[in-house]
Amino acid sequence: MKIKSLYRKFAFVTIMIMIFSGLFSFLLSNGYYQITLKKQNDEKILNFSLKIADFAKKQTPTNLPDYFQHIGEIGYQILLVNQKGEKNYYGASYRVKNLPNVAIEKVFHGKVYHGIQHFPGKTFVTGFFANELTNSIGVPFEYHQQKYALFIRPNIKLMFNEMHILFGWLLLLSILLSIVMVLISTKYLVHPIRKLNAATKEISEGNFSIKLDIDRKDELGDLANSFTNMSNKLAKVDQLRRELLTNISHDIQTPLTNIKGYMNLLENQQISTKEKEQYIQVVHSEVNRLSNLTKQLLLLASIESKKELMEITTINLGEQLKNVIHQFQWSIGDKGIMMSYSLPDILIKGDSGLLYSVWENLLTNAIKYNKENGTIDIELSTVGSEVKVIFKDTGIGLDQQEKGKIFDRFYRADSSRARSVDGTGLGLSIVKSIVTLHSGKIEVESQKGKGTTFKITLPKL
């Protein structure tokens, strides 16, 4: 849906709601008038009519026409009918003089004519302001032993003419101002959505450096903040993706170039058998590097897609760590490393294959980056509801800058060293992903030239 369409629809719906709510309120008010107010108005004018008739009867003014003319001038419309059927009007004239004779006869017989109460059930405005004789109150009275029928109603035009104009202007202005305010407020609401829409298009085109100047303390403000955070995360993901592609291309291209070069050298018939063996050994080494890189990339991909597919079993962590140590026993002895460990039987829940990769990577690094005749200590213990695994070595260590990046993909603290031992820069990234997948955490302590300690914390069974 286009933003312009959203603006129009929002404004249209709001105005329609105003109109329908106004009509509904008008109908409710009309119903209230017809059921309650019209009867009350009838009774109020009836009481006033009886007082006028009673006063005329008791005081016996010398000039009855002057008396009713005076009543008419102060805001009433009056029809006075005598027994001969003669009609005299006082005050403002009636627009419609449609009073039936049966109503006059009814009043002469001593009954009250409730014209206001029984006026046709039209709309509120018509019912209240209808200037018709049938919309009046009729009462009988006697004056000088003659019977009269008095019909009276308020002169609405005289009493409320200015109020009509005032209410009319108020109604018109309120409608116009409401529409203007709806259009302005709708534009105010839709404007940040326009910005978000434009920002979305920018992101779809690969531009993640977006800054939204939407400073609001409402849901749209929260949406803008969430959108900005999303944009920043997408920018980081895009940067990581570019770095990943660059690193993968570099790590694949370099051994392939080496393999191609040495294969060209092997085609030379003049090289010695010893040189051929050296070249073939280098080719094997580069092939192993490519194989390791491929395996670790596949493992990393499987970790990221395995959150809901983990094969959770009960694992004897002490026994698993001993198996890993046994696997690398030859590498440890070849480098003259002194190995010590404390591995009691501790059970945890987890994916056995993934956790095996964690210990394998950590021990491999401890051997790779250790000094000749160095030491490696592995300690397994329980602390409350947690299990702690500590790998400590006396290797080359890390400085503060390197410590902050070792869990990044393809990062190598010492690239020349890593290259010589088939490093890919993915091992510790894999370790952290697996530990996080098991609701654990990993910490590193290290000093340049003095060794490194990795502390892994996992929830206990």
Q: Name 451's bridge partners.
A: 447
| C-beta of residue 355 within 8 angstroms of C-beta of residue 325 | no
* Amino acid 458: pLDDT: 95
What CATH number does domain 209-305 carry, 1.10.287.130, 3.40.50.300, 1.20.810.10, 1.10.3720.10?
Answer: 1.10.287.130
* Mean pLDDT, range 222-230, rounded to an integer: 77
* Amino acid 176: pLDDT: 80
Q: Which positions ≥6 away from 189 have C-beta within 8 Å?
A: 10, 220
Fold held by 3-162 = Beta-Lactamase (3.30.450)
CA distance 341 to 317: 13
- Looking at the chain, the domain(s) classified CATH 1.10.287.130 span 209-305
* Mean pLDDT, range 107-128, rounded to an integer: 77
CA distance 69 to 207: 86
Q: Which positions ≥6 away from 399 have C-beta within 8 Å?
A: 448
Contacts made by residues 264-270, CB under 8 angstroms, sequence distance 24+: none
| C-beta of residue 368 within 8 angstroms of C-beta of residue 422 | no
pLDDT band at residue 445 under the 50/70/90 scheme: very high
Q: Which positions ≥6 away from 312 have C-beta within 8 Å?
A: 349, 350, 351
pLDDT band at residue 366 under the 50/70/90 scheme: very high
* Amino acid 304: pLDDT: 61
pLDDT band at residue 419 under the 50/70/90 scheme: very low
Q: How far is CA 249 from CA 284, 292, 301, in A?
A: 20, 15, 17
- Looking at the chain, the domain(s) classified CATH 3.30.450 span 3-162
pLDDT tens digits for 182-200?
A: 777 777 777 777 777 777 7
- Residue 454 predicted with pLDDT over 90: yes
Q: Name 89's bridge partners.
A: 79
Q: 148 versus 169: which is more confidently predicted?
A: 148
* Amino acid 54: pLDDT: 82
| C-beta of residue 387 within 8 angstroms of C-beta of residue 317 | yes
| C-beta of residue 368 within 8 angstroms of C-beta of residue 421 | yes
Fold held by 309-459 = Heat Shock Protein 90 (3.30.565)
Q: 229 versus 339: which is more confidently predicted?
A: 339
* Amino acid 216: pLDDT: 67
Q: How far is CA 181 from CA 10, 11, 19, 21, 172, in A?
A: 13, 10, 15, 17, 14
In Å, how far from its chain's centre is CA 160?
A: 51
* Amino acid 205: pLDDT: 73
* Mean pLDDT, range 387-406, rounded to an integer: 87
Contacts made by residues 247-250, CB under 8 angstroms, sequence distance 24+: 247/409, 247/410, 247/425, 248/293, 248/297, 248/410
- Residue 384 predicted with pLDDT over 80: yes
* Amino acid 207: pLDDT: 73
pLDDT tens digits for 125-150?
A: 566 677 888 888 999 988 888 889 99
pTM here? 0.46
User: To 5 degrees, how large is the angle CA 398–CA 409–CA 314?
Assistant: 90
pLDDT tens digits for 48-61?
A: 888 888 887 776 55
| C-beta of residue 151 within 8 angstroms of C-beta of residue 133 | yes
* Amino acid 18: pLDDT: 77
* Amino acid 390: pLDDT: 96
* Amino acid 302: pLDDT: 66
CA distance 335 to 371: 8
| C-beta of residue 231 within 8 angstroms of C-beta of residue 198 | no
Q: 277 versus 220: which is more confidently predicted?
A: 277
* Amino acid 421: pLDDT: 41
pLDDT band at residue 423 under the 50/70/90 scheme: low
* Amino acid 164: pLDDT: 56
* Amino acid 166: pLDDT: 63
Q: 205 versus 265: which is more confidently predicted?
A: 265
CA distance 392 to 395: 9
CA distance 382 to 461: 11
Q: Phi, psi (5° rounding) for residue 349?
A: -100, 135
- Residue 418 predicted with pLDDT over 90: no
* Amino acid 130: pLDDT: 79
CA distance 38 to 46: 12
- Residue 415 predicted with pLDDT over 50: no
pLDDT tens digits for 312-349?
A: 899 999 999 999 999 888 889 889 999 999 999 999 99
Q: Which of 36-45, 371-380, 424-433 has the lowest mean pLDDT?
A: 424-433
* Amino acid 420: pLDDT: 40
pLDDT band at residue 232 under the 50/70/90 scheme: confident
Q: Which of 246-260, 323-337, 392-406, 446-460 has the lowest mean pLDDT?
A: 246-260
